[in-house]
Amino acid sequence: MTSQEFKAWRSALSLSKKEAAMALGLSIPSIYNYELGYRREDGRPVIIPRPVALACAALANGLEPWRAVA
């Protein structure tokens, strides 16, 4: 997932940065960095981890957290 795709995901779900952070279990600064594609602190590139990209896909498709069926 690219930074542009991440930003498009958040926009498509009409989530604020705070709401996106809460939904993904991330910090708000992480959301800023993912959308920029680099760390604001030092300019290093940021790669969006696969688990975050998969969580974005799950949320976009209305999936709920996994619950084992007894």
- For the chain, the domains span 3-60
- Taking the model in full, what pTM does it have? 0.86
Which run of H or of E encompasses 2? none
For 25-59, write each residue's pLDDT tens digit: 999 999 999 999 999 889 999 999 999 999 999 99
User: What are the residue ranges of helices labelled H in the chain?
Assistant: 3-12, 17-24, 28-36, 50-60
pLDDT of residue 4: 97
Residue 70 has pLDDT above 80, yes or no: no
- CATH fold of 3-60 reads 434 Repressor (Amino-terminal Domain) (1.10.260)
pLDDT of residue 29: 96
Arithmetic mean of pLDDT over the chain: 94
